[in-house]
Each structure stands twice: as C-alpha cells, then as structure tokens.
Chain A
Amino acid sequence: MTVLKTSMRNFFAHKGRMALSAVAVLLSVAFVCGTLVFTDTMNTTFDKLFAATSSDVTVSPKTAKSDSTPQNGRPDSLPASVLERAEKAEGVKYAEGAVSSMNVTVVNSANKNMGSSTGAPTIAGNWTRNDLRSMEITSGHAPRGPTETMVDADTADKHHLKLGDELRTIAVTGDFKARIVGIATFKVTNPGAAVVYFDTATAQRELLGTTGRFTNINLSAATGVTNDTLKQNVISSIGAGAYKVQTQKEYSDENRSGVGSFMNVIKYAMLGFAGIAFLVGIFLIINTFSMLVAQRTREIGLMRAIGSSRKQVNRSVLVEATLLGVFGSILGVGAGVGLAIGLMKLMSAAGMDLSTRDLTVKATTPVIGLVLGVVVTVLAAYLPARRAGKVSPMAALRDAGTPADGKAGLVRGIIGLVLTGAGTFALFTAAHADKATDGSLVLGAGVVLTLIGFVIIGPLLAGGVVRVISAVLLRFFGPVGRMAERNALRNPRRTGATGAALMIGLALVACLSVVGSSMVASATDELDKSVGTDFIIQGNQRIVPQAAKAIETTPGLEHVTHYRDIEAKLTTPDGFSDSDGVTAADPTYAQDLHRKTTAGELTAAYGRDSMSVGSEFATKHHVKLGDTLTVAFKGGSTAKLKVAAITDDDVVIDQGARYLSTQTMRKYLPANRIPPDQIMFASAKSGQEKQAYAALKKSMEQYPQYQVRDQSDYKQELKDQIGQLLNMVYGLLALAIVVAVLGVINTLALSVVERTREIGLMRAIGMSRRQLRRMIRLESVVIALFGALLGLGLGMGWGATAQKLLALEGLKVLEIPWPTIIGVFIGSAFVGLFAALIPAFRAGRMNVLNAIATD
C-alpha cells in the first residue's frame, strides 16, 4: 500500500518530467489504434457495400471471379436460358439477368477519364431492381434505349456531370456514346468506384458484344424463404455444378476476400511502422526513468536506510511506469480514433470516399492499445527500476551533487561488439548469397543484429563520435562549444540511448533511399541497355482494339509492336509441364527489346510454329534448340512449337519470357479469345521522333486510360513512382523520428533540471542567457548528429547489402543518393536545434540563486 502511495506521489510530483514519455506512449498507441480503427472502418464500408449490392442469391458462370476480368477483356457470361430456369425455382420473388463489366473506361466529351484516381474500378452494367437495394435515383430516370445512361452521384459530383451530358464508354467490344438521363445516389458509402448504368439490351450488346447473355443472375427470395433454401431450390432448378450459385453472404464474402487481403497488407505495414515508433519510444522511457532514478538516488537511499526492501524500491518504480503506461495509452486510444478520422478525411481529399458513419471501433482495439502501451512502458522501465533497487542505503548519506555518471562497461562493449560483428558477418554473407530468397533471411538477421549491436555499443561510440563532431563543428563556438561537448559526453549511456532512438528511424530512411535510388539507377541502366523502342503505350486497362488501331494508323511510325501474355499450358519433351503461359509479340519486338541469346537467333523464334525459352528454363528442363514443345492455348487448340532460340535470363525485363509471334498465336486461338494487348511499342521513322511522339499523344487523347511515353518520360515516370513510394514510407517513418525528437527534448529537459545548480553557478559567474541557451542547443545538435551519423552509416550499409543481394533479381547498380543522405544529416542538426528550443528557454529562465541555495 505504501509502495503504491509513494509511487502515486512520485508520479504526480514528477508529472512534468513524465510528460514527454507519456506523449511517446500516446503517439505509438494512437498509431496502432488508428491503424486498427481505420482498417476496420474500411472493412465495414466494404462489408456494407457488398452486402447492399449483392442479391439474395446470385448465379454466375463457374469461371467468373469477382475481382478480375478474363484476359480477353470480356466478362464471362451465361445464357438467358439459365434465367428462365432459375425463375421457375420455388421461393423466387423475382429474378433478373445482370450485366456488369469492370473492363471499361468512361470518358466525358472532353476525353477526361471519369474513373477513380485511387485505383477503384469503373463498373458498367444494366440497371436492375437489385440496384435499388443500394441506390436510389435522385434525379432524372433510369436509362431506356441505346443512347441513355445513368451515373452515380459521387462521380457526377466529382466531375461536374449533369443530365444531358454525353459519356463515351470504351469497352473491348468498341466505343459507344450515351447521354446521362439519370443520377443515382448510393445509400451506403461507396469508397470510389465510378458506376454507369444502361438498359439491359444496351449493356449486353456493348459490354458483352452479344445478346441473350448475362454475367450473372440475381434472385430475390419471396417472403419467408431463407437465402439458403432459395439457393438449394435454384440449384435443383438449374442443375448442380454447371454454375456458381451463391447466397448473399457467400457472394459478398468472396468479394470481400480480395479487398480484405489488400486491407491486411495496409494494416500490417502500418502496424510495422507503429512498432518502430514503439521501439524508439522505449529508449525515451528508459532514459526518463534512468534520469528520475538518478535524480532520486538520495531519496531512494533514505528509503532503503529506513528499511524499504530492494523489491519495494524496484516495485515502486514499476508502479510509476504502469501509471505512465495506463495514462499514455488511454489518451493514445482516444487520439487513435481521431487519427483514423483524420486519415479518412485525408483519403476523401485524395478521392477515396469514406464516411465517419461507418467508423468502427472494435472492443479489441482499446484493449490492444492499452495492453501494448502498458506492457511496453513497464518493460522499458524494468532496467532503471532494477538499478533503483540496487541503490545502497549509503547513498542517502552522500552529498547529492550530480548523480554518478553511467560508465559504459566492458561487458556492454563486448556484447555489443559480438552482436555487431555477427551482424556484419550476416550482412557480408547476404551480400554474397547465391539466391535472393536464401539471402533475404540472412540479410534480415544482419539488419537486426547490427541494429541491436549499435544500440548496445552506442554509448561507447558516443565518446569518439561526439569528439569528432565537436572537433569539426563546435570549435567555432569557443568555451560554450567546449562545455556543450563535455555535457554531451558526461553521460555516454544517456547520449547513446537518445542518439540511438534517432538512429533507428534514420537508418531505415537511409537504407530505403539507397535501395530506392539503386532501383531507379538499375532500371534506367537496364532500359538504356536493352530497350530499343521509341515509345511505350500502356495503361490500367488492356489496350482495346480500337485504341490499338489508333496507334497503328498514327503517322510517322516506322513500326508498331503488339505484346500480350497468353494463358497456355506448356509441356517439354521430358514430360515437365507448367501453366506459366507464353508471350505473343510481333517480330519487331526483337528490335524493341534487345535480348541476348545463349543459342539460336531471336528472330527465328518469331517464325512460323517456333518459339523461344529462357536459359534457366532450358537448363532446368534440358530443352535444346530444335526441341518441340507442346503448347495448349487456353480456349484454343494445342500446338507443337519448335524451340528456335534460347534467351539469356540475366535480365530484369521479360526474365524467362517465352516468345512466339502474334501470327503463330492467331493460328491456334480463335479471334474472340485473343486478349487485347497489354502493352504496345512503337518506333518512329528516322528523324521524325518528335512529330511521331506528338502524333501518338494526339491519337491517344481519346483514350485517356493509356499513357504514351518515350524513353526519357518512361524513366522519369519510374523515378516518380519510386519517389512517391519512398515519400509515403518516409511519411510513416516520420512518426518514429518525431518520437526520437521527443526523446532528445526529453533528455535535454531532464538534464537541464538535473543541472540546475551548475546552470545557476555558470550564470552567477557571468555566463549570459544567450550563451547558456547556445550551449544547450549545441549539445542537442551534437546528440542529434551523433544519432544521424550512426543511423545513416548503418542504413547505407543495409541498403548496400540489400542491393548486392537484390543484384540477383536485377538490382545491379548501387546508387547512394548523396543529396538525400547529406540533406538528412544537415536536417538532423536543425532537428537538434529545434529540440533544444524549449529546454534552452527554460534553462535561460532558471533562477541564479538556485545554484547557491544550500539544500
């Protein structure tokens, strides 16, 4: 009881000193809870959406997948006769045929894509009674006839569409135009899909290219009939096995699983970053409690002298930590919900509509937040608590002065060096691994070991590194600089832990920036070496025939290459077979992408009934030049093709691709099973590059879903994409860095309190406030630079190792992004200055008399 009372008193007496630790716990817990709430809310949104949009029972073709369109670009469909039979099943209130395609692009009269910018699909279909479950027509009427369409209200709002506007729908079967006659509003949150409706006949004709077929059949159950009963009835009516029959729950579950796994990736990635923030927070908490214990040495000694047991002292510190953990976590849970709402608003601004109506805080969320926050805090406080328990009763009798400096011990040094050594060895091994998959585990081990090793020897390195930094930087600041250096050095363990917190975040930044720029450099290098084409045309929809036609007829082009992946089963003479498919391209592809061969000539592979295989495949399955492979085209016939070339697989683009000509493919695949091009290449007539590029862009204006890029734009795009990805990761790492900065502030603030008498003395003998503040700022800068130096060094090491390892996967060029690295280093100095603002201000305001007041 007394222990608890003392702890409570201590906790509240020192609440100022605990504040920053509480903020660190708060931030980490908030990030965890925010992630959980955000992803749960997204799931709720999709659950509601899928539940509202699916009918009681849905019949679809066996092969249909809810989240993808077959490669030929036309959704799988079933004949109208199925509808007739299903309708007759017992318990059917009504049945209707639905047509829906996600392989479309909708543009307005200015050729602007009406689809979502966030990757959500554009869905075109017929307007059915089932849609009334999730939507209502808020203006105009449902579409009737071939020239009418209806659009969802969110899309209409976003693109300022109104009744009477004309929309063009680009499907694989052709383009067609229709005027908006109605606008329908979702009753549930639609996170971003653009939806357009037509009448049934139009949808069948334009989206499926046929009449009398549907993509699925929606059945509504009569009153008193459960979905499961209806499902059984329908199965017995249309026959089992031929079609997929799903209840509302089954259908929406299938829809959701795709979204769910995507959400899980987001969730675990974000939780990973929260974990890093927690890790950094641990250093802050350790430092706080170490300092509190050090400052209270005399008090603890007194407690021990009057009879407290070690255990009691130890426990009293842990109780304080628990209070801190509980307090920080409760606030963190609240902040987490706020963070989730903020994130949703941010997503809305980016074009993904999420509504706070769906805000989902599961009961487990606060529990996870609280448990995590408290456990981490108590674990972090364990070492300082143990040290408190070891305080001898004699401490009460000794003069207070400054608490004994923590000397970095020999044992620490040995353990740290051993770990760092083992880590370095692991990194070295990873860099020389023969297979990327084997090496990645070793790389991971190396990263973790070197990180722990650096954290442990940090205090030992602090001495040397701080001296070097000071020698370079602080000598311009005379005695103030010298004192800042000495202050940073006086407690290496503290400086080490504070710097280590910053080190972790910056090491990751450095590592990722090295990998990122190496990716750009390697890709650029590969593109320079192998790509011969002038222009690359691709988009998120396969290139529809009418767009391909527009490319082919563009003036100024020397040649145009079609490129498609084809589903096929391939069997070697020795009986091995796989379903990895083949690549059908025009013979000009050999000029568009230069590939070395280990045997034969690539041009020969584009000959009649010929093909090529990759060198790895050839070696593995003993395929030689002139061998005959059996290729069974999916949806087509089976071909016997002769191996006319073996390509060298030491590349990134098209590694292991098995080429054959478009001509050969056409022979074995019926026209309506031939998929649209994935990508097209075009080369300009010599000397007409500029004009051709402009002409290509012009002819693709009406197909905004495709991008035309020349080589330099393509490289730029690649760079931008990687840059964006890195920026996102940096943004998430910012949390860890913020916590680390809090750690620097915390260390300085507590040091200032600890050095009250010293500061008073310095002020008494004539140090000005400005000099005092500068001294603290410089100390802060030195600590920050120490952390930055270690972090950047470690991170570059990791990055370089990762590059060496990934060289096996094509990451062949190591590029250290010096501007970024140097920028981060200089930025760290400013971070140090910033962190010192408040502690320096407070030190300046300290009463001079405190120095000489004898206690």
Chain B
Amino acid sequence: MTSAVTIPRHGGTGGRTAVAARARQVVKAYGSGETRVVALDQVDVDIARGQFTAIMGPSGSGKSTLMHCLAGLDTVTSGQIYLDETEITGLKDKKLTQLRRDRIGFIFQAFNLLPTLNAIENITLPMDIAGRKPNKGWLDQVVETVGLADRLKHRPSQLSGGQQQRVAVARALAARPEIIFGDEPTGNLDSRAGAEVLGFLRRSVDELGQTIVIVTHDPVAASYSDRVLYLADGRIVDEMYQPTADQVLDRMKDFDARGRTS
C-alpha cells in the first residue's frame, strides 16, 4: 500500500507543525452490502504547510471526495482527519462550520460567488458572517495582488469568468485561512485566464506562505504545484514533487495504459 505520509518536521510558519492537514486510514464508502462503493480506501495523507499540493486522478478515483473530507465538507466512514492538531472527524456541524469559516478557504470550479453581493462583499463575506473586521492592510494587499481594485463594486454577473475566479481566490485569501482548498479552480476557464489564476495561487504560496490544495485533471494546472498526489480507485497510488506538465501527462498516460491492460 502506498501512502503519502511525510515525516513531520518542525519549521515553516509560526512554529506550527509542518503538516497543515493529515488523513489517517480514511475510508469513505457509499451504500452497503452488494451496492457498497468505496470512494476512499484507507487513505493516509499529509498536506505539507506552505506548499501547493495538487490531487490528480481519473474520474471516480475519489480525488474530489478526498478533498471534501479534508475540508470538512463531507463526513468519513472511518479514519481520522486532522487540521493542524484539531481532529475534525467527529466534529458536530456547528464546530465544523466555524472551522470552515475561520480556518479554511475555498475556491470552487464554478458558482463561487453570491450573485446578490458585489466583489468586495463576496471577498469579506466569511469574515462578515463571523462578525470579524477584515484587516484593512491585508485586504488591500490581497485585492491589489489579484488586480481587482477597480472592480470591487461590480456584481459577479458583471465580471468575466477569470475575474470571478480571482474574486474567489481573493475571498479565500482574505481571511488568512490555514489552508485553501480548490476544486478544479480553473476548470471553467480558458488557458489564459486559468494561467492567471494559477500563477496567482503559486505566488500566494511563495510570497505569503499560504498552504493550498487543489483537485485537478489538468496537467498544466498540476505543474504549478510543489507536489502531485495521484489517486486511483480510492487509493493514493503515486506522488511527484516539483512536477512539470509533461511529466504529469506522461504519468497519467501510464496510469491509463495500466488501467486498460489490467
């Protein structure tokens, strides 16, 4: 069995552990008996702090499920998931909601923004519902970095797809979460807009020390990461550090071939 557990080491930001999130023996199964489908099969994984991790795998490999479980959006059948030192498996909805609000950021593939709120309101929404004041300096910096300063009063419907995703990224960053999860964040964008968003995510890791995990099937998107995890049939079957798009593509072709011959 392959696992993607790295030996914990101290360092990185603020004296915290180097692992931002980890999964231990996580099983996610749907149905029971004959119709039981296992989406995650005893997965162990560590997400390194301050790194950009990409999860890849064919459709139905369980990559989205893994991300949802790590992010506290979905419950697991068995096993534990920790965010930093907090075990989130078994948390009640209320605590879990607070945790998502205060410690996690999200970027989805589409429909990231509330259509009734303008860009800046969308960006500060997590802090607003938490009743916290956003840090003005930081907010300005984030807005500046994503290049939305002149679009803050626009409603989502008045923004292009790429701009909408950048607002989503800004929202995820603005609350300074411990970890940002992206579910195919560039899936709906053309390559130029996608590159813009990915470049921005990369910069936030490099310059701001942000931890980011994305699920993608796009080798180009994966090439922006520090580490790629490959999932198949609910298990982690491989990983790759400092990937390039070509390497990722080759590896995926391998899996495809193996899948077909076995």
The residue on B at minimum CB distance from A763 is: B97
The answer to whether A765 touches B125, judged by C-beta atoms less than 8 angstroms apart, is: yes
- B98 within 8 Å of A by Cβ? yes
The answer to whether A851 touches B111, judged by C-beta atoms less than 8 angstroms apart, is: yes
Of the candidates B68, B71, B97, B109, which one forms a contact with A768 in the assembled complex, judged by CB atoms under 8 Å apart? B97
- B193 within 8 Å of A by Cβ? no
Q: How far is the CA of A852 from the CA of B185 in the complex (A)?
A: 11
- A368 within 8 Å of B by Cβ? no
B211 to chain A, nearest CB (A): 17
The answer to whether B117 touches A399, judged by C-beta atoms less than 8 angstroms apart, is: no
The residue on A at minimum CB distance from B157 is: A401
A95 to chain B, nearest CB (A): 87
CB neighbours (8 Å) of A761 from chain B are 108, 111-112, 114
Among A402, A486, A851, A852, the one with the most B-chain Cβ atoms within 10 Å of its Cβ is: A852
Q: How far is the CA of A758 from the CA of B121 in the complex (A)?
A: 15
The answer to whether B101 touches A852, judged by C-beta atoms less than 8 angstroms apart, is: no
Q: How many residues of B contact A (CB 8 A)?
A: 34
The answer to whether B97 touches A758, judged by C-beta atoms less than 8 angstroms apart, is: no
0/1 string, B82-113, CB within 8 A of A gives 1: 00000000000110011011101110111110
The answer to whether A480 touches B129, judged by C-beta atoms less than 8 angstroms apart, is: yes
Please report which residues of chain A, range 387-422, place their CB below 8 angstroms from some CB of chain B when the two chains form the complex: 399, 401-402
CB neighbours (8 Å) of A401 from chain B are 111, 115
Q: How far is the CA of A757 from the CA of B105 in the complex (A)?
A: 17
The residue on B at minimum CB distance from A770 is: B94
Of the candidates B97, B101, B112, which one forms a contact with A769 in the assembled complex, judged by CB atoms under 8 Å apart? B97
Of the candidates B68, B111, B171, which one forms a contact with A765 in the assembled complex, judged by CB atoms under 8 Å apart? B171
Of the candidates A399, A478, A490, A765, which one forms a contact with B116 in the assembled complex, judged by CB atoms under 8 Å apart? A490
- B144 within 8 Å of A by Cβ? no
- B131 within 8 Å of A by Cβ? yes
The residue on A at minimum CB distance from B68 is: A849
0/1 string, B65-88, CB within 8 A of A gives 1: 000100101100000000000000
Please report which residues of chain B, range 116-174, place their CB below 8 angstroms from some CB of chain A when the two chains form the complex: 116-117, 121, 125-126, 128-131, 171
The residue on A at minimum CB distance from B73 is: A848
Q: How far is the CA of A395 from the CA of B102 in the complex (A)?
A: 38
With A490-B116, A765-B126 already in contact, the answer to whether A849 and B74 are too (CB < 8 A) is: yes
The answer to whether A767 touches B101, judged by C-beta atoms less than 8 angstroms apart, is: yes
- A116 within 8 Å of B by Cβ? no
With A483-B114, A849-B73 already in contact, the answer to whether A766 and B108 are too (CB < 8 A) is: no
The answer to whether B109 touches A852, judged by C-beta atoms less than 8 angstroms apart, is: yes
A490 to chain B, nearest CB (A): 5
- B46 within 8 Å of A by Cβ? no
- B226 within 8 Å of A by Cβ? no
- A764 within 8 Å of B by Cβ? yes
Among B74, B102, B108, B117, the one with the most A-chain Cβ atoms within 10 Å of its Cβ is: B108
- A854 within 8 Å of B by Cβ? yes
B30 to chain A, nearest CB (A): 12
Among A479, A758, A766, A848, the one with the most B-chain Cβ atoms within 10 Å of its Cβ is: A766
A478 to chain B, nearest CB (A): 7
Q: How far is the CA of A854 from the CA of B64 in the complex (A)?
A: 11
Chain A, interface residues (CB within 8 Å), range: 20 to 34
0/1 string, A748-766, CB within 8 A of B gives 1: 0000000001100111111
CB neighbours (8 Å) of A851 from chain B are 108, 111
B246 to chain A, nearest CB (A): 27
Q: How far is the CA of A583 from the CA of B173 in the complex (A)?
A: 91
A809 to chain B, nearest CB (A): 52
Q: How far is the CA of A769 from the CA of B183 in the complex (A)?
A: 23
CB neighbours (8 Å) of B125 from chain A are 479, 762, 765
With A479-B128, A852-B108 already in contact, the answer to whether A765 and B93 are too (CB < 8 A) is: no
The answer to whether A490 touches B102, judged by C-beta atoms less than 8 angstroms apart, is: no
CB neighbours (8 Å) of B117 from chain A are 483, 486
A294 to chain B, nearest CB (A): 14
A713 to chain B, nearest CB (A): 59
The answer to whether B116 touches A486, judged by C-beta atoms less than 8 angstroms apart, is: yes
CB neighbours (8 Å) of A707 from chain B are none
The answer to whether B111 touches A762, judged by C-beta atoms less than 8 angstroms apart, is: no
Q: How far is the CA of A761 from the CA of B71 in the complex (A)?
A: 13
Q: How far is the CA of A851 from the CA of B74 in the complex (A)?
A: 12
Of the candidates A489, A490, A766, which one forms a contact with B130 in the assembled complex, judged by CB atoms under 8 Å apart? A766
The answer to whether A854 touches B97, judged by C-beta atoms less than 8 angstroms apart, is: no
CB neighbours (8 Å) of A655 from chain B are none
The answer to whether A766 touches B101, judged by C-beta atoms less than 8 angstroms apart, is: yes
The residue on A at minimum CB distance from B104 is: A766
The answer to whether B101 touches A854, judged by C-beta atoms less than 8 angstroms apart, is: no
A480 to chain B, nearest CB (A): 7
B86 to chain A, nearest CB (A): 15
CB neighbours (8 Å) of B183 from chain A are 852
With A478-B131, A480-B129, A851-B111 already in contact, the answer to whether A764 and B116 are too (CB < 8 A) is: no
Please report which residues of chain A, range 435-479, place their CB below 8 angstroms from some CB of chain B when the two chains form the complex: 478-479
CB neighbours (8 Å) of B100 from chain A are 764-766
- A66 within 8 Å of B by Cβ? no
The answer to whether A766 touches B97, judged by C-beta atoms less than 8 angstroms apart, is: yes
Of the candidates A480, A486, A764, which one forms a contact with B106 in the assembled complex, judged by CB atoms under 8 Å apart? A764
- A487 within 8 Å of B by Cβ? yes
The residue on B at minimum CB distance from A848 is: B73
Of the candidates B68, B98, B109, which one forms a contact with A766 in the assembled complex, judged by CB atoms under 8 Å apart? B98
The answer to whether A762 touches B114, judged by C-beta atoms less than 8 angstroms apart, is: yes
Of the candidates B104, B105, B115, B126, which one forms a contact with A490 in the assembled complex, judged by CB atoms under 8 Å apart? B115
The residue on A at minimum CB distance from B93 is: A769
- A771 within 8 Å of B by Cβ? yes
CB neighbours (8 Å) of B108 from chain A are 761, 764, 851-852
Q: How far is the CA of A758 from the CA of B122 in the complex (A)?
A: 12
With A852-B108, A854-B110 already in contact, the answer to whether A766 and B115 are too (CB < 8 A) is: no
The answer to whether B94 touches A852, judged by C-beta atoms less than 8 angstroms apart, is: no
Q: How far is the CA of A490 from the CA of B157 in the complex (A)?
A: 13
A298 to chain B, nearest CB (A): 14
CB neighbours (8 Å) of B110 from chain A are 399, 854
Q: How far is the CA of A766 from the CA of B68 in the complex (A)?
A: 14
B100 to chain A, nearest CB (A): 5
Q: How far is the CA of A767 from the CA of B130 in the complex (A)?
A: 8
Q: How far is the CA of A487 from the CA of B93 in the complex (A)?
A: 25
Q: How far is the CA of A490 from the CA of B126 in the complex (A)?
A: 21
Among A402, A479, A758, the one with the most B-chain Cβ atoms within 10 Å of its Cβ is: A479
The answer to whether A758 touches B114, judged by C-beta atoms less than 8 angstroms apart, is: yes
Q: How far is the CA of A478 from the CA of B116 in the complex (A)?
A: 15
The answer to whether B116 touches A854, judged by C-beta atoms less than 8 angstroms apart, is: no
CB neighbours (8 Å) of B129 from chain A are 479-480, 762, 766-768, 771
Q: How far is the CA of A848 from the CA of B183 in the complex (A)?
A: 14
CB neighbours (8 Å) of B105 from chain A are 765
The answer to whether A402 touches B102, judged by C-beta atoms less than 8 angstroms apart, is: no
Q: How far is the CA of A399 from the CA of B125 in the complex (A)?
A: 24
CB neighbours (8 Å) of A771 from chain B are 129
The residue on B at minimum CB distance from A487 is: B116
CB neighbours (8 Å) of A483 from chain B are 114, 116-117
Q: How far is the CA of A602 from the CA of B86 in the complex (A)?
A: 98
The residue on B at minimum CB distance from A401 is: B111
14 contacts between A and B (CB under 8 A): A480-B129, A483-B116, A757-B111, A761-B108, A762-B114, A763-B97, A764-B73, A765-B100, A766-B102, A849-B68, A851-B108, A852-B108, A854-B109, A854-B187
Query: Which are the 3 A-B pairs with shortest beta-carbon distances?
Result: A766-B101, A486-B116, A479-B128
Known interface pairs A761-B114, A765-B125, A768-B94; 14 further A-B residue pairs with C-beta atoms within 8 A, sorted by A's residue number = A401-B115, A479-B125, A758-B115, A763-B97, A764-B106, A765-B126, A766-B100, A766-B102, A766-B104, A766-B130, A768-B97, A852-B68, A854-B109, A854-B184
Interface residues of A (CB under 8 A from B): 399, 401-402, 478-480, 482-483, 486-487, 489-490, 757-758, 761-769, 771, 848-849, 851-852, 854
